[in-house]
Each structure stands twice: as structure tokens, then as C-alpha cells.
Structure 1
Amino acid sequence: MSESLQQPGTVYLKDYQPPAYEIEKTYLDVEIFRGETFVKAELDLVRAGTTAVAELALAGEQLELLDIAVDGVPLDPSQYRVEEGGLVLLNPEARFQLQTRVRICPEQNSSLEGLYRSRTIYCTQCEAEGFRKITYYLDRPDVMSDFTTRISADKTECPVLLSNGNLLDSGELEGGRHFALWHDPHKKPCYLFALVAGNLSAVEDTFTTASGRAVELKIYVEAKDLDKCDHAMTSLKNAMRWDEEVYGREYDLDIFMIVAVDDFNMGAMENKGLNIFNTSCVLAKRETTTDAGFQRVEGVVAHEYFHNWSGNRVTCRDWFQLSLKEGFTVYRDAEFSADMGSPTVKRVEDVAILRTHQFAEDAGPMAHPIRPASYMEISNFYTLTVYEKGCEVVRMLANLLGPALFRKGTDLYFERHDGQAVTTEDFVQALADVSGRDFSLFQNWYNQAGTPELSVSDSYDENTREYTLSISQYTPPTPECSDKQPFHIPIAMGLLGDAGELALKLKDETPEDLPADNTHRVLELTQAEQQFVFTDLPEKPVPSLLRGFSAPVKLNYQYSRDDLVKLALHDSDGFNRYEASQKLALAVIEDALKAYHCGDLQDFSPDTRLLQVYRELLQESGLDQAMLGYMLTLPSEGYIAEQQQVVDPLAIHAARRFLAAFVADNLQAELLQRAQSFDPSLDYRPVAADIAARLIRNTALDYLMINPNQEVLDICLKQLEQANNMTDELAALTALVNCDASGVKILAERQLEAFYQKWQHEPLVINSWLALQARNASPGGLARVQALLNHPAYDGTNPNKIRSVIGVFSNANPVNFHGGTDQDPAAGYRFLADQIIALDKKNPQIAARLMTPLTRWRRFDATRGQAMRDELSRIKSAPGLSPDCNEIATKSL
């Protein structure tokens, strides 16, 4: 039996084999010097089975091996070999200690994986396979070890030395150096290892657990950012308390630490006890951070903390199980955020991302189940499918069981598998065991890609007073499978009559069978086609289907526009009120698209029922103001595109803009009243009610600034100049920059420059300033973006800057990205491909994530589609292309 180095190619779930060896203890001695770092590793390895192993491969990349010994005895070259991708030990003993010493160069590590330097800070990112860039190791999630880490560095340059667990010792060394010794008492896979060394300051607090233990809390940042940590600390303490109350999970170390770094490929990382965050997900201050930024900090801090149990104490057996930890933890953080604010608003926000972006992923060449059957490069599978759709799958299980049984199931899951690396089946089995339910059909959500489409028809018999819902499901083919098996789909619903919601009684139900809330029901679709018959109904109702977006599916039911008006104004389910308003607006936009293609858009008269809904919503007392803001917002261009057979970005932009101007013109008085509510003397609070008030006011301002008169322009400028928070200031600047009215553009340019001069020393604010310009749909977008790449504020090695300019332009500015220039309609595609090819040599992960817009070439007309495909081919043929980009290009072509 032998275990060899994994060669590049496709990895299959069916080929999984348990590790031949376990690593009982890991001791690391990391010596940091400017320009080079030395890592000494002592690994206590023990054979997992009884069969001898001829070769044992340890993964390693970009390592210079200086010393190697077993049990203190240096190895002869005949006892090992160094290969591309790692170190192979020949005929290893059943139990031994391997000692290696390697040299690495964090300063030259532009991939931001392993140990690298971000500005003045040395830090790590080891998920998924970054640890192999630190030392030779069994770099796989099912090898869990006890870690002790000693770090030494120059005390002046790196006064702070951090790693996982609890601090055992620290002290001075010769030559102005010092050390710190950390031990993590909980076994973990190496992807959860973390190390930070640098000149950092800390905000400190404490948390007392439910059992009375005091936990030290520290958030480490650069000294200039100490005043931006209060919200993150509050969010952390709220998350710790919430996890105790809702899931019974207590924190298990003496200290919990967060470190903010500016150069980070992801949002944050849940390393055991030492979370490393992108600065954008931890720093928040009213002057520099928008409401959305405050909410993101709260959600990400909670997400990474919740991983302490759903990901760390119980982790993944292999990377195919990634959604085991990510989908479950996204669900947990979404429920936390809903409890901290408005559950309906949170649901609307999450579903908008899912339907605009994840549904597109499901319909594209990279479609995969939330537990994929194979991958070529694991970094490409940190996707919306794994995270957001994975969350929806957990949500369906929670809703099928109800809160009490779901809590019992998660308790059993944590207790049964604490300290283990497990699979999605283990998670579902724990829920099945406490409930007695059969979830074998439900497993299709884990094993099949694609977005199911529900077709619903109905009929009503006046004589029998029976109402029948006929529901069928169909899932389009995806690359891994063309013949889809039925899904187990929960459909939350109600029925609306003329006088309100109707009582629900399924045929053959007895009074004892009826739930306490008899106007709301969850139907379970488990077959390709099913019928549900309701009795004792006095009239044909309007069905309110898929309440709360109870399943990640597409719903096809032929609502009349009058039906949508009724649902938008009277449904008891907040999400479905929003959904009805969006469906009505989408129907009117589709009317405008037809007029555009016929050349009649300027003479088009939109359906005034949309105005009726908007006007009544604006007058409705008691409506959540955040919900009002969302219901008044037209569907995004991305969501509209997802509804089209062939995407025409220019037509979509023109039709949506036309309808927005129509709304603004006809509701000017009502919108003006909302926009005039700006009061710079009010204290800023990032709480739900205040966030909602700002949202509706700035939504009104967006509409009014489409074609502003002097009064509106003055309101916008007053808000821009007098705002005491970044939400209002950036909203006013955005409205000004997006205005196409004559004479406003010069004013907008002056205000953009003034904003930059004011905030140029705040990187996160400047990221928003860059993104605002990259998103601007006015003509000339490509030239503006090319100019931004040469601006002093732009840094082509920083992922946040790259995402703010190149990512925003290609994903959120479709009219300019797909429109190109007058001389070259494909110029946007060529620009993106050039950036990807150049970036791939420095940071393949970020380069690969930029490719998404090109992968959807099949959704466009032949000319655009071929131009996008040509650029994908050019990327694929680039010399030395990374496995990350090669996989996406190959599958997309």
C-alpha cells in the first residue's frame, strides 16, 4: 500500500480513502526574518491501519528543504525524495517523529495563501490548501492534530505574535528578538492553523459564558483603526450570547482573537481562536462605513464565530463536504442577523443574491451540487452554490422539522461528532434520528445540481367548494447530469380571498389534524407531479405560494396583474408582498423591452397598476420602512437578465431606466416628501429603524435624481455636504454621479474629486469610491475604468481594490461591460481577459473569480457570445495558466 502525491487533474469523491497516517501532535517553530522565514516542524505520525505503507507523501509547495530527520536521526537521500508538490518518505515506520526545517519567503507570496506579508503584517490563509506553503504536511481536513506553535521575530517590527489556542509562554531573545508559545488543546486540521506577527494594536473586552467562564476578547488592527472596532466587538459578544441561547454552544478557549488585514482573498477565516479578517469585514465607523457595511461586519463576525462549532469542533472529512460547514454556518449567521434586525428584510436581501447570482451559477458551465462529485481545483468551489444554496438546504430541513426538533438534531450532531471530520450524511442523519423522518429523497439536494422549476396550475369547483393546486417539478440538465430525480420541496403557502386570508383544510383532514395557524401551510412536494385539494372554500382564491422563499426554486404560476396587486398590498407574508411587487414591476419592464425592440420605447405607456401599488405602499401606515424601500426598488438588471432567454444588456438597461423615470415623474410629490426628511442633526445609529429610514429616503433620492429639478439637486447637494455618516454621504454622491441630466456631469466630477481628497487616507472608503465609478452606467464606462487602474488609489495586488474596480465593472455594469466602445463592441471582454491573464501569474484565486461574466457566453446573442468565447479561449491558451483559471476556462468552453 502506498500514498502518493496528488497530481494535477480531476479529484473524485468516489475515490476518497482515509489517510494512511494520523498526526497526533504538531510542533512548529516559525522564525521570521525580513526577506525569509524558517519553519521547523516536528510531526508525531502514527499509522492509521495495520498495513505497511511503502511511500508516504506530504504535500508541500514553494518550500526549500534545509534539514530532514526521523526520531532525531538525519535521513539519507535514499530514504526520501522531494518532488513537485511535496515530500515522499520511503518505507516509514508505524510510529515516528518527522523533523523538517524549510525556508519560505512570505514577502514574495503574492498568492495570499500560506504565510504572506500584508503591508506591515505577517499572516496566514491556509484554507483550503495553503498550509502546504508553510511546511510539509498531510494537508487534508480529515487529519486532525494537537498544535503547539512557537513564533519568534524582531520585537520592534513584530511586537505582536499570535497563533491558535492559549498563550503558554513568551519572552525576550538575543538581538532584539522575542518569542511567543501557543497551544491549541483542540485537535484541528491544518487548514484551521493561523499565525499573525506584526505591529498591531488591540481593542479588548471580556465575555462571561453561560457556565461562568471569563473569555478574553481581542480585536487586533493597525493603530490608526482602533476607533473602528466597537461595532465588531459588540457583534462578537452578541453572537456568542446568541449561540449559547439558540444552539447551546459555549466558547471553549480562554481567549478569542480577531485580526484585520488589508490584503485578503476572502472575507474572513475561522481559524480556531484566531480569526483573520479582511479589513472590510471588521472595521466600521459611522463616518467611513455605510449601513450595509455595518450589517456586513455584524454578519461576518457572527459567521466566523459560529464556525467554532459548525466547522472547527466538527469539521469536514474532505473538501467535497465543504457545504457541511459553510451552508450550515451561513444559515446560522442569517438567522442571527434576522434576530438582530428585520427577519423579512434579511430574507429579501439573501434571496436577491441567491436568485441573481446563484441561479445563474446553476444555469452555467460551472454548475455543481452543493456537494460536488469532482473538482479540479478546490479554490474554485468556494461558490454561491456551496454557501448560499447550502444555506437554503439547511433552512428547508429546519422548516420541515420545526425549531424544537431542529435544535434536538443539531445538539445530537455536535455531541455525536465533536472532534471529528464528518460528511453531509452525518449531519442529515442526526436530524433524521431525532425526528424519525426519512430524508433519503432529500439527499438529492446534496447530490444534484440545478435549480428546480415548479409549474403550478389551479382550479376551483363552485359546487363542491374545492380548490385544487396541481404542482409539477422539473430540473433542467446540468453538466454533471441530464436526468434529474425529484427533489423533496417544502412549499409554504396561503390562500387570499376578497376579504382576506382563507382557512386551509386539505381534503380528508379532520379538525384534529388542523394546525393552530390555519391560514398558513407547508406542502411537501416529493414527486414529479402532485395535487393538493383544499375544501370548504367560499370562492376561488389567489394563492400565495413559496412564502418566505421556502425552497430555492423557480416558480411558474400565471398570476394576473390584478392578483399581484392584491398580494403586494394584502398578503400577510412580508416576503411574498415584496415578491408580488417585483413580479409586477418585472412584467411592466418586459412590456418596455418589447417596446424597445420595436423601436417604440419613448412612446410606451407603462401599466399604471405599478404606480397604484407604489402609491398605496407609500401611504400605508405601519409598514416596515426598509421593506418599503425594497418594494419600491425595481428589479435589478442582473435579475431581469436571468428571466430572459437571450440576454440583451443594452435593452434591459434602457427599459429599466425608462420605467424608473416614469415612476419618478408620476410619484414626484410622494418621493420628494421622503427625500426632504434628511436631517443632519440626528445622531447616527446602525439599528434597524434608522437603517430603514435612511434606505427609503435614499431610494426616493435615487428616483428623483434621474431627471432632477433645482430643488431636488439642492436636496442632493445638501445631503452630500452635511451628512454625518457614510451611508447618506455616499448615497448622495451616487445619485449625483448616476444622473445623466445635462449640466450635472461637471458638478459630479468636482464632487468625486472632493470626496477623494477628503477620504484618500481611508482605504475602505476609497474602495467604495472606486466601485461607484466602476458601476456608473453612463456612456464611456470602459474608459473610466481603464483610467482608474492608473489612479494612485488603485493597487493591482490588493484583492479589495481589484474587486472594487474590475469585479464591479464586469459584474455590475452590464451596459458598459457588454456595450464596449463604438469602435469595438467587444472591448469590455478583451479588457477583462487581459486583466485575468496578468493577474493569474500573481494571484490565481482572484483571477479565477473574475472569469464568471465570460463563462455565461451562451446566454447572449451569437455576436456577443462568440466574442466572450474567444476571450475565454485566449485565457485558456495563455502560457503557464494556473489550474484555477484553466478549470473554469475548460469547463466554460
Structure 2
Amino acid sequence: MSMQVKRRADYQPPAFLISSVELTIHLHPQSTRVHSVLKIQRNGNHDQELVLDGEQLNLLELSIDGQTITNYEVTDSALVIPSVSNEFTLTTVCTISPADNKALEGLYLSNGVYCTQCEAEGFRRITYFIDRPDVLATYQVTLHGERKTLPTLLSNGNPVDEGINADGTHWVKWVDPHPKPSYLFAIVAGEFDVLKDEYITLNGKRVALELYVDKGKRDRGQFALDSLKRAMAWDEQEYGLEYDLDIYMVVAVDFFNMGAMENKGLNIFNSKFVLANPETATDEDFFNVESVIAHEYFHNWTGNRVTCRDWFQLSLKEGLTVFRDQQFSADMTSPLSNRIKHVRVIREHQFAEDASAMSHPIRPDEVIEMNNFYTVTVYDKGAEVIRMLHTLLGKERFRAGMDEYFNRYDGQAVTCDDFLSAMQTATDLDLAHFSRWYSQSGTPEITVSQKVSADKTWVTISQYTPPTADQQDKSELFIPLGFSCIDLNGRHYQDCEQKVLEGVLILDQPETTLTFDNGGQELIPVMLAGFSAPVRIKQGLSSEALLATFLYAQDDFNRWDALQQLYDWCITQYEINQSVEDKIWEGLRDALESEKNNYELLSECLVIPSFETLCQTRTNIHVETLHAAREQFAREFITKLENELKDVYHSIQLDSYQYNQQDVIARRCKNVVLGHLARLTQHEDLVKEHFNQSDNMTDSLGALKAAQHGHRELFKTLMETYGEQWKNDPLVLDKWFSLHATTERADILSHLTLLQSHPQFSIDNPNRVRALIGSFAFYNTSGFHALDGSGYQYLTDYLLKLDDCNPQVAARLVTPLTQWQRFDQHHQEQMRRQLARLLEHDGLSSDVFEKVSKSLAYESTAK
């Protein structure tokens, strides 16, 4: 099996442009009729044939300028018309079957709701079109549907007319005046509850806000609507960006491959990122709702008004918008917890991607399946690159660069180079060197060493980016490093040459050396304040130096990171059958005691690095040894610090549930501490009491996770109570599925099979599949990595079924198998065996084929 590779270097402008689209759509489960009228112009002086993308379409009629034509060819992926004039109107009539569309791309019908997902290449499953992001057109859409079952008919833009047909059906006409690419097209039709509000912009414009949710879920939508208004106000204040239509709509649907989609004026959301109240949603859920609502709204300018020329430029909109939603969330909630949350994603997932066969720059060079561009590298590392720009330019100049970007490119489809060109106008710094972050893959390694004389200390900092699967040769990067220097007593030092300015050292060469007048003693370089760049630090600080960093560093991220490094070091001792000295436990006790009332920092510092994070600092990983070492450390941690943690738990007293940052921080700290205490049998009653007295989902779930650590019978009892209470609420039950999937038990595979027969589980619903199968594959260390390879085989068996109906989700869930390079030989062989099974499967989707074939091909370069 082979697939066509698409390359960024092969980009050519479209041979034809489409200026306007008129669609008339008659909705029907098996035979939706799509009448399309396109105004098309030849782009440049050429005689190429007209090629329109189209998949799974039944073409009924075809005419040009009102004349039926017969000289054309229809293939599985295109409509080809060999001879056309320079400017003409093309009319087609097609039928499609939304009910049979289980891939959830294009137009599909699920749970009685018609919904679209057109990014990246779904529009071609609705009608014939030049389905690429650099073809922008205005849209007029008229939807027809049954009045009883489809009372709501929505599309992009503003509603301009509606009526009743002679057969009793009804119709609504929508007009979007802003030219947009086809991937931003959307329609939704069904029966919903609706929440309405309005937002008045700084310029006095009234914008109608409408939030559509499933019938009976109206009480769970208010927080999302309020979040939208906060996002609109923030974007006006921070970036001067005002909304540009008369109406802004958000629709929550249960069956959705992504988190949400920023379709112009009609955002379609996975319902898990809209529906929230204290009984059904955790603090983390509330945070995610606000963050994703903001992300999709911010796309209105960074993605919609200015969009991508081609999909290789995806980080142009996604990396930039992720950075913007991170800024927003930090302003709305806690800057420290937000930053740590993002760093965990980078370290656990993006660094792993960089080290795998799927390594690619944030602006990739080639791809087989466009859906595989939606990666943590493009999104999250892309956001880190924007954050570095923000650090280098400063807030005011960054804003000036953004203003220039919008002034230059509003209404256009552009590239990452265009963005950098606009930012260059706001700084004297030459961004040519910095731009390598867009084209170079891999995780840079920053090595820190020092030399001490009688009166001076020299700290040398060097950079090196290891070869990756896609690139062997690397160049030095332009890296802003948050930097300070202290000694064991907490005294801070400035380098003699003042290379460190305002806490930032620019590393733009293979290495640089800083000189300190400090009486000739070894210093503690405190690296990467605020996680100023997506790099690894190789420093080898002693446990004493790490504790001093926690006590004396000025940056709270550095303080948290110092303890994470110390925990990692302790776990390493257990891996090699060594013990952790009492002085380290005493130092930890003193460190935690010093912050016992600082619940925000404490709650983060009490989290032990996950197995996934620990994997990023190791090679040739023996899963059983590392997992056992982490468990041993966790057990020792609570044994040594029980009294201190017990005092923290009981010191946190909260009234009835409120979602405000003070309570969120305190609640998180209390639940983290409970998770530690639960490892000791004497605290079983505390876990039970925590669950029974909970008036919110955060504490209920906190008790369940705590019981999962060690009280198996209690866990079983509480899970039965929880499962019975929420058996009719699929979104809440996803948490129950996930807890089951991540529980360590000898019969986990048969248990997973049993759970698949649950009435609320369906292979057709991505949320259910991610909650059960995804949680197992990504986070059940002992089950997934079982020594006999049964966990790998189980996932593969499921992926073979899932790929037939939803290749996008299957491609995401195959990721843990593709990262086999990190593990010891035995696990590598077991994982590669299952990847080979996938590759040999007839009819494997391009989504999964690309990841699997690249992973297996990486074998020769990994050794």
C-alpha cells in the first residue's frame, strides 16, 4: 500500500478562483440534496482543465452558464471538466447520505442532529469545490428541513430570510459577507434549547449571542455564554479586535471528532467543552470550557479574517490562537497553574512526538493525510514559538506587530513568513535567525556546565538539537532563556558582562559563557524561568542545589520545576535499587512547610511527575522497573510526610461550591493531598467521607481518584454509586469510563471488553472511545505495557475496527504504539509487531497508514 505525499515546496496557486457560492440544501437522512451555484474565474493565463474536489458524492446535474454539459469526468476524488471559459457560473446538484457518514467529516447526522466538520478537507464531501484554504468566497446558504424534527436551521453569517414551503417544510437563508475558505463553512440543523444574550462592542455595536444545547441541558450552558462575553471583551482590550457580524452562535453536539471548530459566526463544539454546572463538571471542566470558548472566538481574527494559504501553514492560525487563549486563561485564572499545565503538555506529549517517527517542524514540509497535521507540535510548540516572540519583542511591540499583521493581511490567505514579516516591522531584532523555529524539528538540549577559580566562576551554556526522523542536520537556534544565578544561601548574582538583561539570556550561538565575581564558589544557574523556550535542560544539579532553588529562586515556575527534578532524581535511585537519604526527606519537609499556606504553589509541587513525563528523561525504558520505582517513591513520599500533609488537608475549609480562583486553588490542593493520604490504609474513612460530603463533581472525582490508588474495595463501592447516579448522563459517565480504563487490575482487558457493552458506550462516539480506549492506551501503564504484549494487541484489535468508521480518531489513538523507540528491546518488539499488523490490514485509512508506516520505517534510524 502506498499513499501520495504532499509537499509544502510543491505549492502552486489555484488554477481557478471562486468568488461566490450559493447553496440550497434540502436535508434528508439518506438523500440530502445539495444545489450549488459557483462563480468561477480562471487564475492567470493558462489553459488548464477545471478540477473540483469531491468525495462520496452522487452527481445528478451539471451545467455551465445554464447549459447542461456532458464533457466531464468523475473520479473517486474529483470532477474534471477539460474545457471552460475564463469566467463562468457552474451549477451542480448532488445527493449525499449524512446518516451513513460515521467518519464525522463533511455533513453527518447523529442523534437527530445534522452537523458539519469541514476542516481540513470535509467540504468536498458536501459538494464539488476547489477545497483548499486559499480559495476564499462569499456564501449564501438556504437550508430546507422538516419543521417538527428540525426547527433550528443554522449556517454561517447573518440570517436574512425564512419561510414555509408548500409541503410544510421550512427554510432559512443565511448570508456571510466575509470571504472565507470552504473549511470554515458550517451548517447545523436539529432541535435544541437556546440561551440568548447580547454583547455591545466598544464601538457600540450590538451583537446577538446564541448558545444551542441539547433539549434539557439549558442549565449547563450559562457559564459558556458568560465565558464568550469575557473573551470578546478581552480581545477588544488586549488586541483591539471587534466582532464583525450581527450574530455569534455556538452549538454543542455530542458526536464530534475535535474539541471545537471556529466556523465563521457558527462555532460547533464538542458538548464536553460547553456544558458545565457544579454537579456535573469539575473545576478543570469549567476551565476547559472557558479556554476553548475563547480559543474558537479568537480564531475570528487569527484564522478566519486572516487564514492559511495552505495546510502546511496551520500553526499560523493554531499556534497563534493557542498562545492567545493561554494569555486569556492566565488573566482569568492563575498564571502559575496555567503555565505548568501547558509545560506538562509539552514535556509529556510534544517532546515525545519530537523523539518519534512523527517528528516535524511547527510548519511541516510534507504529509500524506492532512488530518495528521493536528498535532501538539503544530498547536502547543507553535504557541511556545509565539510566546518566545512575545518575550523578545515585549508586550507593546508585540501588539504593534499584530496590528500590522491585521492591517496587511485582513481578508487574505497567508503564510508563516508573512506573519514574521509583519512582526519584523515592530522590532530592530533581525527575526531571520529566529525563523528557524518554523522549519527545524526536534527538541533543543541546553547543557549547563561551570568552572571555578579562586575568585571567579564561569558558567557555559551550549545548545544542541539531536537529529530527528525527518531531519538529520540541525542548526543553532535563537533561544531566549529565562536565567538567574544563586548560591546555596540564596544570594543572587549578575554576570560581569551583563549578557543577561531583564532576566533573559539570548542563546543564538552554539555556546556562550557567563562570568561571575563570586569569590570562587560553585553557583546554581536557575534556567528557563517561566519555561521561556521549549527546550530540555541538562544540568545535573545536586539534591541540595535543587532544594536551594526551590527556597530562593524568584520565579515560581523554577521553584516548581526544581522539586519535579528532585522527585525524578529520587525515582532514579529506586530504579537502581538505591535509597533516598533522610536529609532529602528532611529538606522536602522543610520546603513544603515553608509553603504550607500557599495552596497554589503547594498543589503543583505535591504532584509527582507522571510516568509519561519520566519517560522524557530516559532512554531504553524498562517499563516495569520505572513504574515500580515511581510507585515506591509515591508510597515513601506519604509515609515520610504524612503528618505535614494531613495538617494541610484539614487546614483547607471551604463553604458550598463556587467556581472562583481562590476556591479552585484550595480545592485542588486538598484533592492532591487526599490522593497521597489515600495510599495509607488508615485514611480509607477520610476518602469515603470526602466522597459522601462532596457537593460538587471536583471533590467527587477527587475521592474516586484517591481510592483508585490503594483502596480497591472502596474504589469499587464508590464507582458503583457514581455509575448508578450518572448512568443516563454520557458526558459525566466519560469520567467513570476513564477511571475504569486507568485502574491497574489483572483482568483489565476483559474489563474493558465488558465496559464496551455498556448502554452509553458506542464506537461511533469519539468522546466515549477516547474516555475508555484512549485512557487505557495513554495512561494505564501496567495494562497497556503488559510484558506479554496483550495491551498492545488489545489496542490494535480495536483500532482495526475503529479505522473502518472513524480514521481520524483511530490515527490519534495509535500514537502510543508509534513511540516504541523509547522503550527496551522487549517492549519495542511487541509494539512493532502490532504496528506491522496494522500496516498489513487491507483498506487501512491514509490517516493511520501515514503514522504506522513512518513509525516502522524509523527502525533503521533509531538504532
Structures share fold, TM-score greater than 0.5: yes
Q: Does 1:636 align with 2:610?
A: yes
Partner of 1:713 in structure 2? 684
What amino acid sits opposite 1:523 in the alignment? L
Q: Does 1:866 align with 2:858?
A: no
CA distance in 2 between counterparts of 1:853 and 1:835 reads 14
CA distance in 2 between counterparts of 1:559 and 1:747 reads 41
Partner of 1:745 in structure 2? 712
**Which consecutive unaligned segments of at least 5 residues does structure 2 have?**
857-863
Q: Does 1:563 align with 2:545?
A: yes
Please give the per-residue CA displacement for 1:559-615, whole angstroms capped at 9, x wherever unaligned: 1111100011221100000000000110000000111xxxxxxxx632335433442
Which of 818, 824, 839 matches 1:855?
818
Q: Please say if residues 456 and 470 of structure 1, whose CA atoms lie closer than 8 Å, have aligned partners that are also in contact.
A: yes
Partner of 1:474 in structure 2? 464
Q: Please say if residues 314 and 419 of structure 1, whose CA atoms lie closer than 8 Å, have aligned partners that are also in contact.
A: yes
Q: Describe the shift of the 1:8–1:228 C-alpha distance in structure 2 as closer, same or farther (beyond 3 A).
A: same
Q: Report how far residue 537 of structure 1 moved.
A: 7.3
Which of 27, 38, 41 matches 1:46?
41
CA distance in 1 between counterparts of 2:754 and 2:590 reads 45
Q: Describe the shift of the 1:664–1:621 C-alpha distance in structure 2 as closer, same or farther (beyond 3 A).
A: closer
Q: What are the equivalent positions in structure 2 for 1:389-428 lying under 5 Å apart?
A: 389-428=381-420
Partner of 1:547 in structure 2? 529
CA distance in 2 between counterparts of 1:214 and 1:269 reads 24
CA distance in 2 between counterparts of 1:61 and 1:385 reads 29
Q: Does 1:346 align with 2:359?
A: no
Partner of 1:530 in structure 2? 512
Q: Report how far residue 347 of structure 1 moved.
A: 0.6
- 3-state DSSP class of the match of 2:19? strand
Q: Report how far residue 627 of structure 1 moved.
A: 2.0
User: Larger deviation: 527-536 or 693-702?
Assistant: 527-536
Partner of 1:203 in structure 2? 195
What amino acid sits opposite 1:312 in the alignment? N
Q: Report how far residue 888 of structure 1 moved.
A: 0.9
What amino acid sits opposite 1:532 in the alignment? L
CA distance in 1 between counterparts of 2:622 and 2:681 reads 28
- 3-state DSSP class of the match of 1:871? helix
Partner of 1:11 in structure 2? 6
Which of 57, 61, 75 matches 2:55?
61
Partner of 2:749 in structure 1? 782
User: Larger deviation: 273-282 or 790-799?
Assistant: 790-799
Which of 865, 877, 881 matches 2:844?
881
Q: Report how far residue 534 of structure 1 moved.
A: 4.1
User: Larger deviation: 493-502 or 583-592?
Assistant: 493-502
Q: Report how far residue 669 of structure 1 moved.
A: 1.7
Which of 354, 377, 388 matches 1:385?
377
Q: Please say if residues 22 and 47 of structure 1, whose CA atoms lie closer than 8 Å, have aligned partners that are also in contact.
A: yes
Q: What are the equivalent positions in structure 2 for 1:646-685 lying under 5 Å apart?
A: 646-676=620-650, 682-685=655-658
Q: Please say if residues 42 and 99 of structure 1, whose CA atoms lie closer than 8 Å, have aligned partners that are also in contact.
A: yes
**Which consecutive unaligned segments of at least 5 residues does structure 1 have?**
1-6, 596-603
Which of 680, 694, 700 matches 2:673?
700
What amino acid sits opposite 2:663 in the alignment? D
What amino acid sits opposite 1:732 in the alignment? A
Partner of 2:168 in structure 1? 176
Q: Report how far residue 621 of structure 1 moved.
A: 5.2
CA distance in 1 between counterparts of 2:667 and 2:293 reads 24
TM-score by length of 2: 0.97
- 3-state DSSP class of the match of 2:827? helix
Partner of 2:274 in structure 1? 282
Q: CA RMSD in A?
A: 1.7
CA distance in 2 between counterparts of 1:758 and 1:329 reads 38
Q: Please say if residues 303 and 329 of structure 1, whose CA atoms lie closer than 8 Å, have aligned partners that are also in contact.
A: yes
Q: Report how far residue 856 of structure 1 moved.
A: 1.5
Q: Please say if residues 573 and 579 of structure 2, whose CA atoms lie closer than 8 Å, have aligned partners that are also in contact.
A: no
What amino acid sits opposite 1:810 in the alignment? A
Q: Report how far residue 502 of structure 1 moved.
A: 2.2
CA distance in 2 between counterparts of 1:633 and 1:889 reads 34
CA distance in 2 between counterparts of 1:737 and 1:791 reads 21
Q: Please say if residues 452 and 520 of structure 2, whose CA atoms lie closer than 8 Å, have aligned partners that are also in contact.
A: no
CA distance in 1 between counterparts of 2:812 and 2:129 reads 27
- 3-state DSSP class of the match of 1:872? helix
Partner of 2:136 in structure 1? 144
Q: Describe the shift of the 1:720–1:46 C-alpha distance in structure 2 as closer, same or farther (beyond 3 A).
A: same
What amino acid sits opposite 2:10 in the alignment? D
Partner of 1:773 in structure 2? 740
What amino acid sits opposite 1:468 in the alignment? W
CA distance in 2 between counterparts of 1:615 and 1:36 reads 68
Q: Please say if residues 164 and 274 of structure 1, whose CA atoms lie closer than 8 Å, have aligned partners that are also in contact.
A: yes
What amino acid sits opposite 1:424 in the alignment? C
Q: Describe the shift of the 1:255–1:548 C-alpha distance in structure 2 as closer, same or farther (beyond 3 A).
A: same
Partner of 2:861 in structure 1? none
User: Larger deviation: 104-113 or 665-674?
Assistant: 665-674
What amino acid sits opposite 1:46 in the alignment? Q
CA distance in 2 between counterparts of 1:609 and 1:847 reads 48
Q: Please say if residues 816 and 828 of structure 1, whose CA atoms lie closer than 8 Å, have aligned partners that are also in contact.
A: yes
Please give the per-residue CA displacement for 1:31-77, whole angstroms capped at 9, x wherever unaligned: 00233210011000011112232x1110000000011111111112x
Please give the per-residue CA displacement for 1:424-446, whole angstroms capped at 9, x wherever unaligned: 00111111122122111112111
- 3-state DSSP class of the match of 2:627? helix
Partner of 1:20 in structure 2? 15
Q: Describe the shift of the 1:834–1:145 C-alpha distance in structure 2 as closer, same or farther (beyond 3 A).
A: same
- 3-state DSSP class of the match of 1:234? helix
Which of 144, 149, 165 matches 1:157?
149
Please give the per-residue CA displacement for 1:837-880, whole angstroms capped at 9, x wherever unaligned: 11111011111111111112222222221111111011011111
CA distance in 2 between counterparts of 1:737 and 1:523 reads 44
Percentage of identical aligned residues: 42
What amino acid sits opposite 1:847 in the alignment? A
What amino acid sits opposite 1:226 in the alignment? R
CA distance in 2 between counterparts of 1:610 and 1:241 reads 48
Q: Describe the shift of the 1:337–1:537 C-alpha distance in structure 2 as closer, same or farther (beyond 3 A).
A: farther
Partner of 2:575 in structure 1? 593
Please give the per-residue CA displacement for 1:449-477, whole angstroms capped at 9, x wherever unaligned: 100111111234443xx442211111111
Q: Does 1:803 align with 2:777?
A: no
Q: Please say if residues 137 and 181 of structure 2, whose CA atoms lie closer than 8 Å, have aligned partners that are also in contact.
A: yes
Q: Please say if residues 445 and 537 of structure 2, whose CA atoms lie closer than 8 Å, have aligned partners that are also in contact.
A: yes
Q: Report how far residue 503 of structure 1 moved.
A: 4.8
Q: Does 1:269 align with 2:261?
A: yes
Q: Does 1:690 align with 2:656?
A: no
Q: Please say if residues 547 and 588 of structure 2, whose CA atoms lie closer than 8 Å, have aligned partners that are also in contact.
A: no
Please give the per-residue CA displacement for 1:635-689, whole angstroms capped at 9, x wherever unaligned: 1111112211111222222111111111111221222223335767x22122221
Which of 303, 319, 329 matches 1:327?
319
What amino acid sits opposite 2:691 in the alignment? L
Q: Please say if residues 494 and 501 of structure 1, whose CA atoms lie closer than 8 Å, have aligned partners that are also in contact.
A: no
Partner of 1:619 in structure 2? 593
User: Larger deviation: 453-462 or 548-557?
Assistant: 453-462
Partner of 2:225 in structure 1? 233
Q: Does 1:725 align with 2:706?
A: no
Q: Does 1:483 align with 2:473?
A: yes
- 3-state DSSP class of the match of 2:396? helix
Q: Please say if residues 624 and 692 of structure 1, whose CA atoms lie closer than 8 Å, have aligned partners that are also in contact.
A: no
- 3-state DSSP class of the match of 2:34? strand
What amino acid sits opposite 2:613 in the alignment? Y
Q: Report how far residue 498 of structure 1 moved.
A: 5.0
